[in-house]
Structure 1
């Protein structure tokens, strides 16, 4: 571990070089000073080779164990579907290497906790790609909250809805809606981002409950979820996620004693502050590689300069929130 941190460059291997790594994350690891992507893995060797060639990566594998145990790989980024996160993460921990896992951390709180404990036992850094904690757009919301721009925060609510897409309607296989991979479907993939962000903005959740069902019957996973919760500081919250509505909608509203903050978790929209001084709207653009600041913060943490905002510990809390809303605990 200490030898890894003393290197001029920290050499990363990526497990699962699929779509998320093409623009969102992979180039961020390559372009961060002091980081280098030296190996990628995909079960389809031809696709792994193609990715490596296009992105200028020297080695590729079709076997995860080979990448994890490669002596030239100092740290591992797991970007496979969530049902395999635990399998690979435990192997990375056994190999004694720092790790960043794509969100959600795992399909269940129990699996997430097992991963976190494995890295804690070995005293290894563990991060999860809840990159919104590092994005300037949402840091502006945190700045307003920290400055008491809306007074005492009372309540937060989020509605996220979207129509079924062509894949949903066709019955074509999609791991994101396969209950064996993602039991709550798009909720697992999307709601985790917002709920994790709310814990960052407003503090950890104290109590959580909810209802989850499948209204449309288009796939095996849940498609309609509601939840309500209480933060440890007394702020109440509620959320509705429905993946069978007639149009897309993504709106978060934070109510305070002296104003309101509004923003979207996914849509490209203004962050809006309305209080006794008037209304302020700001559009803060995301970077081309949306995980840029998240990855730069990984480097700062690994070098001991600051603690990353999204660790295994914070992600386990988000997994607990998710399972509590789904009624799995």
Structure 2
């Protein structure tokens, strides 16, 4: 049995992930933590969690808990992950996995030197629409893949951008970057998941505020080792009239189009056009959490290894021009 403690039971844990730890087979949620004790107690009461605390150390010292879900902002991911691994607890780590690639590499090294296991919460890998895209690619439904194109254009008040009481996502000391660092991992991880190892990554970015570490516009290209080419643009100061959330994968015999925030997949090939519609689970991280529990119990492979999270962090830095 995997017995969980959640460090950071905030907005993400409320619906997307928290309840799923109680729904997965061989999984139980024993304790939740939030710095605000009243909110931690409220979360525990509403979700029928037996224990709550406002101290992460209470969870890390609890010998009955053998796995932790770290859902705090990225600025504390390294600290809590290292402490959890030292206490021989498995870790399910929110994305982005750290403030930067250096911290992500430190986490990878710690996992290698630990008896515990770690999975990064790139949960879209397990959602039905994105599984369908991978199935179509594996079936050569559009022939040989040549290139992919992503456009993420969002207005400042877009519904796509996650809201929270404190907008820490635009504080680089807490998030590592702006909305690109918050949302970009979803797109980058799927491209890696679909196309494999990367050969070259480069990009540039622009910030509306002088000397800001918050990239409002990012324009990047990736060359994969198998020859597939990628180009992507992310803009978080777009006009509401221009908002777009689209990925198109092109092949020698057609294309596949989908959204990262929707559940439709459009296949266009020599046989015609077909639209596949899916419904996400109420708790969107549930399939990933179930796969993680199986991995922790030794029943399945890792659904997203720490090295994959490191690759995403490194790619974020190269696409934004922070790293050559």
TM-score with structure 1 setting the length: 0.92
Residues 263 and 279 of structure 2 are in contact (CA less than 8 Å); yes or no, is this contact kept in structure 1? Answer: no
Q: Could you tell me which residue of structure 1 aligns to residue 54 of structure 2?
A: 62
How do 1:127-276 residues align onto structure 2 when only pairs under 5 Å count?
A: 127-165=119-157, 174-215=167-208, 221-247=214-240, 248-266=243-261, 268-276=262-270
CA RMSD of aligned residues (A): 1.9
Pair 1:323 & 2:317 matched: yes
Q: How far is 1:328 from its partner?
A: 2.6
Which runs of no fewer than 5 residues in structure 1 stay unpaired?
1-8
Q: How far is 1:134 from its partner?
A: 0.9
Q: Give me the whole-angstrom Cα distance separating, in 2, the residues matched to 1:184 and 1:279.
A: 39
Cα deviation digits, residues 182-221 of structure 1 (max 9, x gap): 243000110111100110011122210111221267x862
Structure 1 residues 276 and 204, CA, compared in 2 at 3 Å: closer, same or farther?
same
Q: SS of 1:234's equivalent?
A: coil
Q: SS of 2:13's equivalent?
A: helix
Q: How far is 1:236 from its partner?
A: 0.5
Q: How far is 1:166 from its partner?
A: 8.7
Residues 204 and 321 of structure 2 are in contact (CA less than 8 Å); yes or no, is this contact kept in structure 1? Answer: yes
Q: Could you tell me which residue of structure 2 aligns to residue 3 of structure 1?
A: none
Q: Could you tell me which residue of structure 1 aligns to residue 77 of structure 2?
A: 85
Q: How far is 1:61 from its partner?
A: 1.3
Which runs of no fewer than 5 residues in structure 2 stay unpaired?
none
Pair 1:305 & 2:310 matched: no
Q: How far is 1:304 from its partner?
A: 2.0
TM-score with structure 2 setting the length: 0.94
Cα deviation digits, residues 111-149 of structure 1 (max 9, x gap): 111011101111321111100111111010000000111
Aligned length: 317
1:115 to 104, 107, 132: 107
Residues 216 and 244 of structure 1 are in contact (CA less than 8 Å); yes or no, is this contact kept in structure 2? Answer: no
